[in-house]
Structures are given as structure tokens and as C-alpha cells.
Amino acid sequence: MRNIIIVGNGFDLAHNLPTSYSLFIDNLILTEFNKKSSDLIHPFFSKSIGEIANKKLNERTVKYIAISGKEFSFTTSNIFLADLIQQKGQNKKNWSDIEAFYYEVLLKTNDTSLILLQRDFEIIKQKLINYLNSISKVSKANINFEHFFSHNYFSNGEIQNNLILNFNYTNTLEKLYENKLERFKIEHVHGKLSNFDEGYIVFGHDMSIETYRSYIDIKDEEFFKNIKFINYRLNSKFEILKSFLSKESFFNVFVIGHSC
């Protein structure tokens, strides 16, 4: 019997990695606020009255309440970040909340503002890469996962019959369970830490095929820059999955920490 294991962010959270949306944003604001010179935010008190009044700055004033309860006031030219904090709040739990908000904004953005939105989102994406690189240290495996990956379902099969689709950017799986994964082929659907220096991860949103078709003739390539199913086709992961699914036999599907 063939097996597909889908691994999501809940897997990292189960290993006490702070990979939730709220913790990322919290760390981002605190880190940038404490820099001597940030390219993203500027403490509100550092602005003169003249600068605040100067509309050419094209900055948004934001008040952020950290998880600790401390308040931060700052200005930012990253309008996506400002709107994300102000309109969505700080109580979301996973990456999809950022991605869902991005998609919501994208569909409302006119051609004139599109390049600015993509620029702003690209900056947040790079900050996410930096953040994940900084929290990737994991020291202890979970005994329940050790038992799972050692199960007879997998140990009796060939490597080509056991496919792990890892939707996490981190390498928690390989770091902690390397000796349990000899019988598995592992594919990082969204990219992984070792590739982050290249700046490539799949981070954005998936639109339906129907929506894609309705926009394909009226939007240029910039509009589709962060649409997931398009970026999946830029690597081999999509073809590997298609090949696995094309074989005429039944297979089991196991889901670990992924919202379906």
C-alpha cells in the first residue's frame, strides 16, 4: 500500500517552535523597533511635526500592542503591513492569515497600486525568511512522532511508496527524525530553509482555477506573482505529486498539523 503524509504548521508548533502568525508579527515589530536604523518602521516620536505633515512621505501611522501588552507607535511606508496590523488584529494563529489578507487586498488593488503591493509583500516575505532562520533550532524529538514514522505501514514499503509532502519552511522533520525516514521520499512543497538564501519560498495565496481564468486576459504577470499554484509549477514538486497520484492503486493519506 502506498502512503502520502501531509505535514503542516501544527507539526512545528508541536515541537514548540514559535511559527504562528501572531508571534512572527510580534517579533518583527519588536526587532525593527529596537534597531538603530530600520528600513521598515520608524518610531513615531522620531518624526518631527514637519515630517509628519509632509504628505510626500507616504507613510502610515500605526499603533501596535505587543503580546506582552506594551504599545508601540511608529510610521511605515509598507502599507500592506500597516493594513495587516490595523484591519486584521494580532490574534491570528498561522501563516494563512497573512496570505489570506494579501489575497483579499490583491483582488481590490488597481493596476497603479499593484507594484507597490507586491513590493510591500516581498519585504514581509523576506522578513519571514529571516525570522524562520532565527528560530530553526530544535533539540528534542516527540516520542509520538517517532512511533508514527516507525509504524509498519511505512517500514515494510519501498521509498517510492511513501511520500511526505511537507508544507513547512523549516527542516524540523529532517533534523529530529532523520533515522526514522529512510523509507520516505520528502518534498518541501513551499521551499525549505536551505534554499532561503536564494529568496525563494512559495508564500502567497491560491486562487481557484475559475478566478484565474477570469483574470488571465485582463491582468499582467505582476498580478500573479504570488499565486501558489502558479509557483508550484516552477519547481518539480507538482510533477512529483502528479506522478505519485497517476499510479493505478489505492493509497493512504495521513495528515499531521495541517488545516485541510
In a domain, 125, yes or no: no
Q: Name which residue leads in pLDDT, 178 or 54.
A: 178
Residues 56 and 149 in one domain: no
Closest CA to 31 of 60, 57, 64: 64
Residues 80 and 191 in one domain: no
Name the residue type at position 193. Answer: L
Residues 189 and 61 in one domain: no
Whole-number Å distance between alpha carbons of 157 and 153:
7
Domain boundary among 92, 119, 153: 92
- Give tens-digit pLDDT for 108-138: 999 889 999 999 999 999 999 889 888 877 7
Name the residue type at position 136. Answer: S
Residues 8 and 74 in one domain: no
**What's the farthest any 2 CA atoms get from each other in the chain?**
72
Name the residue type at position 70. Answer: K
- Residue 217 structural domain: 2-17+137-256
Q: Cell triple for residue 46? A: 522620531
Residues 66 and 171 in one domain: no
Model confidence at 23: pLDDT above 70: yes
Residues 216 and 151 in one domain: yes
In a domain, 149, yes or no: yes
Neighbouring residues of 127: CB distance < 8 A, sequence distance ≥ 6: 28, 40
- Give tens-digit pLDDT for 156-206: 667 778 999 999 998 899 999 999 999 899 999 888 876 555 547 889 998
In a domain, 117, yes or no: no
Residues 12 and 37 in one domain: no
For 186, the enclosing helix (H) or strand (E) is strand 185-188
What ranges in 109-151 are assigned the alpha helix state H?
Answer: 111-134, 143-149
Which pTM was predicted? 0.85
Q: Cell triple for residue 114? A: 499593484
